[in-house]
């Protein structure tokens, strides 16, 4: 009803889906995503510099970092520009580039709506489909009105930045991006209108698929580091040996940091960003563990159950990166966190690299610890960190506090210098 089935994640398996899938796989292949390494590294430095100068708003800095990467990759919008104050219900910190901030603000509101709307049974029309045909003015039946409002928000989300790219292409000033590159390579398209529609919706799917999961994963990492300082210290020691102090972590460091990468895997396993994945429709009759699954049934992949089913000596509910360094480690969370089979997220490589750079950059320059309060005698005390998570499609940590401090003045300077670099 909201039109979410026009984008790749929920689009039915047909020629339109195959075209969007083909475009996304081409534009986000292993070789293609390398050209975004510079942007991702720069955004990681910008985020960490904000952590060091304004640690109280770490949540907003993390959200902006995830949005900056996706907006730069999808539409070529700049990740930094003249600084100015932008206020909204979601962001209220000095941010870069007014167009970028406006989009991220609207995207957050839209994706929160989508997260709730896509939960099975969220609306009465999910249970009784006949209500889809009830007029929006009928009292007490709000699903159609809400769907119309949601549809308008979604269309604004995908169309506004796309039109921005079209204008820049016409003016001859469009930088390389997912959208620009695909539109520039449309000479072989059989139907130009259908091709543009496919580019529009495949680009629009990137924010929800990549930005939100990256944002959530980094927040969960902060929670885990605050609760487990010994794990943070061990990861920092490994990082220091490989990276040193003179530069921030880079994509070339992947594969050289087994413990750090085990920490990232454990973050993704311990609290999956999409605990119930995305509902799917069975296209033919199937049998599974003695159960008959009729064609056209809706199935929900229980990602959380897969994550908790770990053959390890460590309890599944505990945060223990060492489980991924055993002789027989659990399944890599990347194999189920990004979907399955032909529906696996085509932006998987981009998202993995974003998470790696954001997390390793935090480890490089910051010490994350439990929140500190001052008692009646003026003494500082660390308090317990209790966090609840939302129950939508994407499971976010609800607002929490932690302490973020610089590891050293030298590292802070390196981060500041990297944040000032022009990509």
Tens digit of pLDDT for each residue in 173-214?
A: 888 899 999 998 876 667 888 899 999 988 888 876 678 889
Instruction: Look at residues 32, 61, 350 and name the one whose alpha carbon lies nearest to residue 205.
Output: 350
287 phi, psi to nearest 5 deg: -120, 130
**Local structure of residue 316 (DSSP, 8 states):** T
Rounded Cα distance between 186 and 297, Å, is 36
Instruction: Look at residues 153, 159, 91 and name the one whose alpha carbon lies nearest to residue 117.
Output: 153
Other beta carbons less than 10 A from residue 343's beta carbon: 17
CA distances for 107 relative to 70, 115, 164, 331, angstroms: 11, 12, 16, 32
**91 vs 346, higher pLDDT:** 346
**Local structure of residue 30 (DSSP, 8 states):** T
Mean pLDDT of 16-36: 90
Would you place residue 143 in the very low, low, confident or very high pLDDT band (cuts 50, 70, 90)? low
| Mean model confidence pLDDT for the chain | 84
**Local structure of residue 397 (DSSP, 8 states):** B
3-state secondary structure at position 341: helix
Helices (H) and strands (E) in the chain, counts: 15, 10
Place of tokens 């003026």: 378
**Most confident stretch, 69-73, 138-142, 235-239:** 235-239
Would you place residue 135 in the very low, low, confident or very high pLDDT band (cuts 50, 70, 90)? low
The annotation status of 345 as a binding-site residue, yes or no, is yes
Cβ 202 vs Cβ 74: under 8 Å:
no
Tens digit of pLDDT for each residue in 303-320?
A: 999 999 998 789 999 999
**86 vs 271, higher pLDDT:** 271
**Amino acid 365: pLDDT:** 98
**Amino acid 140: pLDDT:** 47
**Amino acid 188: pLDDT:** 61
Tens digit of pLDDT for each residue in 275-298?
A: 988 888 888 999 988 999 999 898
**Amino acid 368: pLDDT:** 98
Other beta carbons less than 10 A from residue 399's beta carbon: 9
Mean pLDDT of 3-17: 72
Would you place residue 95 in the very low, low, confident or very high pLDDT band (cuts 50, 70, 90)? very low
Tens digit of pLDDT for each residue in 355-373?
A: 999 999 999 999 999 998 8
Cβ 24 vs Cβ 182: under 8 Å:
no
pLDDT of residue 122 exceeding 60, the answer is no
3-state secondary structure at position 88: coil
**Amino acid 206: pLDDT:** 83
**Local structure of residue 123 (DSSP, 8 states):** S
**Amino acid 94: pLDDT:** 39
pLDDT of residue 124 exceeding 70, the answer is no
Instruction: Look at residues 408, 374, 354 and name the one whose alpha carbon lies nearest to residue 42.
Output: 354
281 phi, psi to nearest 5 deg: -110, 130
Cβ 153 vs Cβ 110: under 8 Å:
yes
Mean pLDDT of 11-33: 87
What's the token pair of residue 52? 């060091």
Tens digit of pLDDT for each residue in 210-262?
A: 788 899 999 999 999 999 999 999 999 999 999 999 999 999 999 999 999 99
pLDDT of residue 81 exceeding 50, the answer is no
Tens digit of pLDDT for each residue in 384-399?
A: 888 999 887 889 999 9
Mean pLDDT of 97-120: 62
């Amino acid at each position: 009803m909201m039109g979410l089935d026009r984008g790749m994640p929920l689009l039915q398996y047909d020629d339109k889906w195959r075209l969007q899938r083909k475009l996304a796989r081409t534009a986000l292949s292993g070789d293609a995503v390398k050209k975004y390494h510079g942007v991702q590294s720069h955004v990681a430095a910008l985020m960490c510099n904000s952590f060091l100068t304004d640690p109280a708003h770490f949540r907003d800095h993390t959200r902006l970092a995830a949005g900056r990467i996706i907006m730069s990759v999808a539409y070529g919008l700049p990740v930094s520009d003249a600084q100015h104050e932008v206020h909204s219900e979601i962001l209220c910190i000095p941010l870069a580039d007014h167009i970028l901030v406006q989009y991220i603000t609207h995207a957050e509101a839209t994706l929160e709506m989508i997260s709730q709307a896509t939960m099975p049974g969220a609306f009465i029309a999910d249970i009784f489909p006949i209500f889809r045909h009830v007029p929006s003015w009928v009292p007490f039946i709000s699903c159609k009105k809400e769907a119309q409002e949601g549809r308008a928000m979604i269309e604004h989300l995908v169309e506004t930045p796309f039109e921005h790219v079209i204008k820049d292409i016409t003016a001859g000033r469009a930088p390389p991006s997912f959208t620009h590159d695909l539109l520039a390579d449309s000479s072989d398209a059989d139907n130009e209108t259908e091709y543009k529609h496919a580019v529009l919706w495949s680009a629009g799917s990137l924010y929800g698929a990549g930005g939100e999961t990256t944002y959530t994963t980094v927040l969960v990492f902060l929670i885990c580091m605050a609760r487990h300082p010994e794990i943070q210290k061990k990861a920092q020691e490994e990082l220091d040996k490989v990276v040193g102090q003179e530069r921030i972590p880079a994509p070339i460091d992947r594969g050289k940091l087994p413990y750090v990468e085990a920490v990232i895997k454990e973050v993704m396993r311990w609290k999956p960003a999409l605990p119930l994945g995305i509902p799917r429709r069975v296209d033919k009759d199937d049998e599974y563990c003695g159960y008959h699954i009729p064609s056209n049934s809706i199935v929900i992949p229980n990602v959380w159950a897969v994550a908790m089913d770990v053959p390890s000596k460590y309890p599944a509910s505990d945060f223990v990166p060492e489980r991924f360094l055993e002789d027989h480690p659990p399944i890599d969370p990347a194999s189920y966190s990004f979907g399955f089979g032909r529906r696996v997220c085509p932006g998987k490589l981009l998202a993995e690299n974003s998470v790696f750079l954001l997390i390793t950059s935090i480890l490089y320059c910051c010490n994350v610890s439990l929140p500190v309060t001052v008692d009646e005698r003026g003494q500082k005390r660390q308090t317990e960190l209790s966090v609840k998570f939302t129950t939508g499609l994407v499971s976010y940590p609800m607002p929490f506090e932690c302490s973020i401090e610089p590891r050293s003045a030298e590292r802070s300077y390196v981060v500041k210098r990297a944040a000032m670099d022009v990509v």
